[in-house]
Amino acid sequence: MKKMFKDKKLYIFLLIVLLFFKTFSIMNYSVDTYLLLASSKLKYVDEYLSAGRIFTTVFFFIQGFFHIPNIVMYITSYLLAIIFSTLSIYELNKVLDKYISNKFLSAMISIAIIINPFIIELWLFIESGIMMFSIFACIKGFKNFDKYLETKNKSLIGKSFLWMIAALFSYQGTIALFACLCAISIIKNSKSKKKFIKNNILMFIIYIVPTIINYIFITMISRERVGANHNLIKVIKMIIISTKEQLINCFGLLPNGFYPTMLLVTFVILIYYTIKNKRKRNYMLSLIYITLVTYLFTIAPVIPQNSDSLIMFPRTSYAFASLIPLLFIINNKNLNIKITSAVLIVLLSVELYSFTKIEINRYIVNYEDKQIIYQIEDKVKKYEEETGINVEYLSVYNQENSHMFYNDINDNINVSAKNEQPNSTALYVYYSNRKVKEKEQNNNIYNLYFKNKHWQYFSLDQVVIVGNTIHWYIY
């Protein structure tokens, strides 16, 4: 431990993490965060428990039980995210230093694996500290597996297994990273085909047994998330659609076409140096193996989900975005260090630009949402003063056809909370500090006040109060 704190690399990695995620030091709100902030913490922890995320459940149970303010929990989670992100890079780098001859390249690859294009969504939730712990647990699991392949110390298998349990019960969307990294170690430490197969089986067991334990736990709590309605055709269709989003669009997290271009450049560089150094067969097979492992283990956690609500997000596809730096590990001794470093620097630089833009847009969306609620609440208070009627219900109209973004904010990740139910109600509850309840739409109200109306911006004409109910048309 003392040696780690004396290592300059640790503080370099800390500065890089702060550079990427500095703006999260100010509390921000994702769409789902409003549901948490506007509800009873002791009640809302059931949502995390039914998702098999015990560490997050405990985190928010403590908040609810001791009535800890949201800002305190946010800061705590943010600091934990900083710590675990830094330690993840540091611990990964210690392992990769064995496999990558150039220490600068080893550091760059370690950073690019952990801070990949899909990590940004993990930071948009108030429980980001627990999500980053899941990544850290995957790294520790990989580190023990890697050490076992070298030493054959069987106790390391148990440690790897326990770290994977910790990862799964923190957040399941990151666990494919364990398999991807282990695949690198298997290539480097398997001296024969028999050893290669045996090591893959061992890696799969360490991955699948904790996954099954987590799956059983979830089904014991609730059948809504997994297995309740499983349609294989729907699953395959969603996987195909999500693959396009992952590979081509990168979920809108990077400029259009940037990620597939960088991936293509990576393959061209690796194939060129593989042919140049006359090591075609083994290295080409390694490239295919790493690519398949990364893709298949990324989509694997999605398959057991309820097919009616099945969807993939950047946060559930985290490991896939590590493919570029992962591929560079295989043939690193024969690569041009300057070219490889340039590719990684370009990738990280564009990420930094995109992340900063997304983070700033998040605060703009939060601000605009808040101002709209304040205007509506002023109207409600005046209505209550004039009529003596207490407003208790909120009915929301036109969410499916409304605009998703404010003005020029067009990144797919920053959707206004008012566009989704029950988030719009939670948004109103949080900023107005008024315990309104959801109510179904009233067709007479719609026909009288909203039908055939088209607004481009927010107007108080979109808010009608009748009796004890707010009727809010989303533009």
- pLDDT per residue as tens digits for the range 262-302: 999 999 999 888 887 766 667 888 999 999 999 999 888 77
How does DSSP assign 376-401, residue by residue?
Answer: HHHHHHHHHHHH-PPP-EEEEE-TTT
Give the pLDDT of residue 230.
61
Residues pairing with 171 in the sheet:
none
Contacts of 448 (CB under 8 A, 6+ apart): none
**Mean pLDDT, all residues of the chain:** 88
Mean pLDDT on 166-187? 96
Phi-psi sector, 217: left (phi>0), alpha (psi -120 to 50), beta: alpha
Between 19-28, 355-364, 384-393, 418-427, the lowest mean confidence (pLDDT) is in 418-427
**What local confidence, expressed as pLDDT, does residue 209 receive?**
96
Residues 6+ away with beta carbon under 8 Å from 255: 350, 354
Does the pTM of the predicted model rise above 0.75? yes
Average pLDDT over residues 16-44: 83
Can you give the pLDDT at residue 307? 56
Higher-confidence position of 161 and 475 = 161
For residue 346, pLDDT beyond 90: yes
Residue position matching structure tokens 């045996």: 198
Position 306 scores a pLDDT of 61
Alpha-carbon gap, residue 114 to 117, rounded angstroms? 9
Q: Place 407 in a pLDDT band, splitting at 50, 70 and 90.
A: low
d(CA 369, CA 458): 10
Q: Could you tell me where the DSSP H helices lie in 331-434?
A: 337-387, 423-432
Return the top range by mean pLDDT from 38-52, 55-69, 98-112, 423-437.
98-112
Please check the confidence at residue 383 and state whether its pLDDT lies above 60: yes
Mean pLDDT of 192-212: 95
Instruction: Give the whole-number percent of the chain exceeding pLDDT 70.
Output: 91
- Domain residue ranges of the chain, discontinuous segments joined by +: 2-335, 360-473
Q: Categorize the per-residue pLDDT at 454 as very low, low, confident or very high, splitting at 50, 70 and 90.
A: confident
Straight-line distance from the first to the last Cα atom of the chain, in angstroms, rounded to the nearest whole number? 56
Q: Which pLDDT score, from 0 to 100, does residue 411 have?
A: 67
pLDDT value, residue 408: 65
What share of the chain in percent tops pLDDT 90?
56
